[in-house]
Chains A and B, each alone.
Chain A
Amino acid sequence: MDFNDTPEEAKFRKEASDWLKQNFEKFESEKLSSEKSAKSSAEPSKTAQDESKALELAKKWQTIKYDAGWACLHWPKDYGGRDATPIERVIWAQEESKFSIPGGFFEIGQGMAGPVMMMYATEEQKKEHLPPMAKGEKIWCQLFSEPGAGSDLAGIKTKAELDGDTWTINGQKVWTSGAHYSDWGILVTRSDFDAPKHKGLTYFFLDMKSPGIEIRPIKQINGGANFNEVYFTDVKIPDSQRLGDVGDGWRVALTTLMNERLAVGDASGVDFKEIFELAKENDFYGEPAVKNSAVREKLADWYCEYSGLKNTKMRRISALSKGDTPGPEASITKIVSANKLQDIANFGMDILDQAGINSEGNLKYHGSLLGAPLIRIAGGTDEILRNIIAEQVLGMPQDVRLDKNVPFNEIPTGEKSN
């Protein structure tokens, strides 16, 4: 057991870190003073202006990386990547995380749409769409969830009808993160309402500027408005932008969701380090809170979770380094980190006591406490993830379902008694 890089890994790490040091400093120093006040993506942008500043900065940095060959490292060079190995990708991420780089806009494109395009698009489409995605020039969004279909994604009702070579889309998507600044989207629709639920779906990519798309922002509990309702009224998509066969959209969607789970990492926000510092800085009953045994016990529990996640990641990296496929350990990351985030933020507020009510100075805690519930839902809820662990990792049976092998339009919806 050791934490040392192999000689090749060490060489790669140095190359990455040297490049980052040189170029990120330059990037920072060239920022306009107005840009310097732009918020990091971890906090919700309160105004559209804040958001467009943050986006502009993120795009700028992404382009610098892309031009030097440091974008989407594991992608083929032909599509704007670097042909890097999985472990090189990890090393890069480790080095990049040492800097507070602007980001938060490219994950859906590069993490989900990219891999799906790689598998299902034509060569020509890949050459056209992947490099701008890697460069951060084009932003992508994920048009999956609907008012009646979230966890149960296959319950979607947005309708796709084919006439000649053109599909016409009608319906509504919801919770679409970043739809308002996206250039392209990946979309799951229902093309057959008489087929069983999972058999009648068809998957596309489309231009978000297409006529008939209407985007309405939804304000979140944390005050941000990063997700949207997206309405489709007779939106046209050429059949050439279909990914996978007609009626086989569920398979394509599953590929996307698998990548989503890999793309979703730790929940960011207050963690052990922050709560430990807070407990040192604040008094409880006349002594620093950190001296209180009830506080210490909680700190110990969170340290164990923090360290358990960190070391789980190390085991994953170790498997990659050996060229093995990592085991299912990573499936626990989001559940543990999002709940830890919520509990730490809540306890931070306890330590701050009544002064914590004031947002000024305490935004870190307010932000994490309001952000954590979103993370526990987005990209697979806690409950769905527990099902995935039980079924896919531990091999336990699926839930008994009432929606299998029934024509889609005969499945109960709760909306009307049919």
Chain B
Amino acid sequence: MNFEFSDEQIAMKDEVRKLLDKENSLKRNRTILEGEEKFDKDLWNSLVSMGLTAVTIPEEFGGIGMGYLELCVIAEELGRAIAPVPYSSSVYLATTAILNCASDEIKKEFLPKLASGEIIGTFAHAESSGFPLEKSINCNFASGKISGTKAAVPDADIADFAIVSAKSSSGVGLYLVDLKDPNIEITSLDTFDPSRSHANIDIKDASAKELISDGWLEIEKILDQSAVLFSFEQIGGAEAAMNMAKDYAQGRYAFGRSIASFQAIKHKIADMYISLQLARSNCYFGAWALSNEASELPTAAATARVSATKAFYECSKENIQTHGGMGATWEFDCHLFYRRSRLLASNIGSQGVWKEKLISSIEKSNLQI
């Protein structure tokens, strides 16, 4: 058996990490957080020129035709570097939705431009507070047009198009809308983690291309697939926060000794490690299920998602704690991880949602336990 990433995948991971280090992604996060820009265009362009937006797109559509395992290692590094770019929206979600559901015509039109970074996409699903259910979707599709609102859509004020969930007489489906359409009003939001932009969108009779009209199961599948990728982003961030806590503790002296020699700190960091290892191992299983289109995907994705969310929360909050007063300052980076941890925990549905998905997926499957 082989339950590790291949040497090539690890080499790719290293390259991405080097790039993000060189570009000083942490500093860029802060610049976006504090400034008016909605994302870091230079960093995005560097990722694009490395080919990272083309990873899962087949060569016939202008991509490089690698698999989801490569995307997992990239996600982990983007999470470690809390990169201020719309990668998850465009690559995990919009690209996957088109790959899974769109006609060849739409693929030909959109995939090459997504691969080359010429356009950015996003995925608009939630409409109000609470996780969207099939019966709660109010956005409406009829005769080629969509009307309705979508709430806190990641990168909606950056992206060129959105894949929107909407109901019609055939069920809830997925539709592609041009976000530059004057019939769509986009309102940027003040958010918990301003290093990643979010906006409400109000759609009034905008023309839409149909990907799939009766597509609730497809929507669930896209969420499961992206959950694995979000989880990798989360463990990347968690590990960075844990290491930050450890490094700070080693160098900070109080009571005549390094605070890293106090058990209250050692055990805290050991607990971060435990939580992170459990999450990492679950993420690897998620990666396997994702890349093999395994029937275990719903359970594997939810397991990875729940444990990675928990790990990032624990590591980022205890990282602040370990820094004492310094952790409370805007100047130290601790809060950047704390903010990102909460944002990622909310994107694509929070803990309660994924715990529920986890248990219902186990009830539905004949999983060997």
B310's nearest neighbour on chain A, judged by CB, is A304
Known: A322-B4, A397-B250, A399-B263. 16 other contacts (CB 8 A): A1-B69, A4-B1, A293-B356, A300-B356, A311-B282, A314-B284, A317-B1, A332-B274, A335-B274, A386-B263, A389-B270, A393-B273, A396-B250, A396-B266, A397-B260, A397-B261
Contact residues in A for B358 (Cβ distance below 8 Å)? 300, 303-304
A394 pairs with B273, CB closer than 8 A: yes
Q: Which of chain B's residues have a CB closer than 8 A to the CB of A276?
A: 362, 369
Measured CB to CB, the closest approach of chain A to B192, in angstroms, equals: 23
Asked if residues B359 and A299 are in contact (CB atoms below 8 Å), the reply is: yes
Within 8 A of A (CB), among B1-42: 1-5
What are 19 A-B pairs with beta-carbon distances under 8 A? A1-B284, A3-B3, A272-B369, A290-B363, A300-B302, A304-B278, A304-B310, A306-B369, A311-B285, A315-B3, A315-B4, A317-B1, A318-B1, A336-B274, A386-B266, A387-B267, A387-B270, A397-B260, A400-B261
- Tell me if A17 is interfacial: C-beta within 8 Å of chain B: no
Interface size class of B (residues with CB under 8 A): 35 or more
Per-residue interface assignment for chain B, residues 274 to 305, with 1 indicating a CB less than 8 Å from any chain A CB and 0 otherwise: 10011101101101100110000000001100
- The SS class assigned to the A binding surface is helix
Q: Which residues of B contact A390 (CB under 8 A)?
A: 266-267, 269-270
- Please give me the residue from chain A that is nearest to B258 by CB atom: A397
Task: Write out the residue numbers on chain A whose beta carbons fall within 8 Å of the beta carbon of B302.
Answer: 300
Which of B274, B281, B291, B355 lies in contact with A314, CB distance below 8 A? B281
B359 touches A300 (CB 8 A): yes
CB 8 Å contact bits of A45-58 with B (1 = contact, 0 = none): 00000000000000
- B336: interface (CB < 8 Å): no
Interface check B246, CB cutoff 8 A:
yes
In A386-417, the 8 Å CB interface with B consists of: 386-387, 389-391, 393-394, 396-400
Contact residues of A between 369 and 398, Cβ < 8 Å to B: 383, 386-387, 389-391, 393-394, 396-398
Return A23 CB to nearest CB of chain B, in Å: 25
A67: interface (CB < 8 Å): no
Check if B182 is an interface residue, CB within 8 A of chain A: no
Is B306 part of the contact surface with A, judged by Cβ < 8 Å? yes
A25 at the interface (CB under 8 A from B): no
Chain A residues close to B by CB (< 8 Å): 1-5, 9, 272-273, 276, 290, 293, 296-297, 299-301, 303-312, 314-315, 317-319, 321-322, 329, 332, 335-336, 383, 386-387, 389-391, 393-394, 396-400
Cα-based distance from A399 to B262 in the complex (angstroms): 7
Give residues in B with beta carbon < 8 Å to A: 1-5, 69, 246, 249-250, 257-258, 260-261, 263, 266-267, 269-271, 273-274, 277-279, 281-282, 284-285, 287-288, 291-292, 302-303, 306-307, 310, 352, 354-356, 358-359, 362-363, 369
- The answer to whether B269 and A308 touch across the interface, beta carbons within 8 angstroms, is no
Contact residues in B for A306 (Cβ distance below 8 Å)? 369
* Chain B, residue nearest A397 (CB): B261
CB distance from A317 to the nearest CB of B (A): 6
Q: Are A396 and B282 in contact (CB under 8 A)?
A: no
B131 to chain A, nearest CB (A): 14
- Contact status of A319 and B4, CB under 8 A, knowing A303-B362, A307-B303: yes
In the assembled complex, the Cα of A304 lies from the Cα of B314 at a distance in Å of 15
Whether A308 lies near B261 (C-beta < 8 A) is no
When distances are taken between beta carbons in the complex, the residues of chain A under 8 Å from B284 are 1, 311, 314-315
* Chain A residue contacts of B363, Cβ below 8 A: 290
Closest Cβ of chain B to A58, distance in Å, is: 27
CB-CB under 8 A from B260, the residues of chain A are 396-397
- Bound-complex Cα distance A394 to B278 (A): 16
A318 touches B277 (CB 8 A): no
**B369 with A308: CB separation less than 8 A:** no
Docked-complex contact A321 and B282, CB < 8 angstroms: no
- Cβ-closest 6 pairs across A and B: A308-B278, A300-B355, A311-B281, A390-B266, A318-B3, A389-B270
- Residue numbers in B under 8 Å from A293 (CB-CB): 356
> In the complex the two chains form, what is the Cα distance from A306 to B359 in whole Å?
13
A297 contacts which of B2, B4, B277, B355 (Cβ < 8 Å)?
B355
Nearest-Cβ distance from residue B365 to partner chain A, whole angstroms: 12
Distance in Å: Cβ of B296 to nearest Cβ of chain A = 10
Q: Are B2 and A322 interface neighbours, CB within 8 A?
A: yes
Return B273 CB to nearest CB of chain A, in Å.
6
Question: If the complex has contacts A296-B356, A297-B355, A332-B274, are A399 and B261 also in contact, measured as CB distance less than 8 A?
Answer: yes
- Docked-complex contact A389 and B1, CB < 8 angstroms: no
Complex CA gap A45/B260 in Å reads 44
Report the bound CA distance from A315 to B3 in whole Å: 6
B277 close to A312 (CB less than 8 A): yes
Closest to B263 in A: A399
Which residue of A308, A315, A383, A398 has the most chain B CB atoms within 10 A of its CB atom?
A308
Least distance between B263 CB and chain A CB atoms (Å): 6
CB distance from A340 to the nearest CB of B (A): 10
Give every chain A residue within 8 A of B269 (Cβ-Cβ).
390, 394, 396
Please determine whether B281 and A329 come into contact, CB atoms closer than 8 angstroms: yes
Is the CB–CB distance between B274 and A1 below 8 Å?
Answer: no
CA distance A137 to B197 in the complex (A): 69
Q: Which residues of A contact B270 (CB under 8 A)?
A: 386-387, 389-390, 394
Minimal beta-carbon separation of B354 from chain A (angstroms): 8
Contact of B266 among A3, A336, A391 (CB under 8 A): A391
In the bound assembly, the distance between CA atoms of A297 and B354 in angstroms comes to: 10
CA distance A335 to B271 in the complex (A): 10
Q: Which of A4, A276, A300, A389 has the most CB of B within 10 A?
A: A300
A308 and B281 contact, Cβ closer than 8 Å, known pairs A396-B250, A396-B261 = yes
